[in-house]
Amino acid sequence: MTPATYSPISVDCVVFGFDGNLLKVLLVPRRFKEAGSDGRLVERQDCKLPGSLIFDDEDLTQSAYRILGEIIDTNNIYLKQLHVFSNPDRIDSRSMEWLNETYRVEARRIVTVAYYSLVKLTPKMAALCEANHGEWHDVQSIRKLALDHKSILMRALETLNKQLVNEPIAFELLPRRFTIRQLQMLYEAILGVEVDNRNFRKKLLSSGYLEALDEKEHGVAHKPARFYQFNKSRFEREARRKTKLNFINWQG
């Protein structure tokens, strides 16, 4: 029998936030040594997704909460398993050395389970994150990441795109009360398209899941816009009812 692989398992987290204008992803710095032009080892730095090997007494979700809990406030965040990345050659030998040193293991490969999270990027969250050396990077501007984290990010982005169209997850990224304009900016930032303002407003308001509040923006240069909130429990109630009735509800 071919020998079974003993492999450390890691968890890597793709955390998306929205700053009102751009889609951001949470990264942490990685310090490593590399041979410089004169052959001597030079200290370098790049960025990676927050991650860790899992520990003996943890399941994967506990591990994801531990990793994120060291950087952000994990109360009420949206967190799901995304995908397992298991190509035996997913990490090149130099990064494999870095991982083995960092975690004091002797692994030839590491299987990683990617988690996917959406958070409300409040000023409090941003401050906490900065204090813990987390960095919010504009997703569009990211050229390279350490290890194979760029491809994990791309996979998460694909999922975010699909989900945004098919599920009301936009509200996980917005403040509890928001204007229709903020919601539209979020859709445009993620989907990378311009959305027709009138259609968007009409479709959203006719969905029946947005509640107009008595409050309006203040201190803005333009005409103050009304705040709305998403009625999640009503949405979920309706979704359960409709699934029972609509046995065919294909996206096509």
CB 15, min distance to a second copy, A: 19
CB 41, min distance to a second copy, A: 24
Question: Distance between CA 48 and CA 148 in Å, rounded?
Answer: 9
Question: Distance between CA 124 and CA 251 in Å, rounded?
Answer: 38
Nearer to a second copy, 71 or 184 (CB): 184
Residues that bind a second copy (CB under 8 A): 1-9, 53-61, 81, 83-84, 86-88, 103-105, 107-109, 111, 113, 162, 164-168, 187, 191, 193, 195, 200, 203-204, 207, 209, 235-236, 238-239, 242-244, 246-252
Q: Can you read off the two tokens belonging to residue 194?
A: 């311009």
Nearer to a second copy, 5 or 21 (CB): 5
CB 35, min distance to a second copy, A: 27
Nearer to a second copy, 135 or 148 (CB): 148
Measure the CA angle with vertex 120, ends 118 and 122; round to 5°: 150
CB 236, min distance to a second copy, A: 8
Question: Distance between CA 168 and CA 207 in Å, rounded?
Answer: 11
Nearer to a second copy, 54 or 152 (CB): 54
CB 125, min distance to a second copy, A: 26
Instruction: Please say whether the beta carbons of 173 and 16 come within 8 A.
Output: yes
Nearer to a second copy, 44 or 162 (CB): 162
Burial 207-242 (b: 16+ CB within 10 A, else e): eebbeeeeeeeeeeeeeeeebbbbbeeebeeeeeee
Residue 85 burial (C-beta neighbours within 10 Å; 0-12, 13-18, 19+): buried
Nearer to a second copy, 13 or 125 (CB): 13
Residues 6+ apart with CB under 8 A from 154: none
CB 8, min distance to a second copy, A: 5
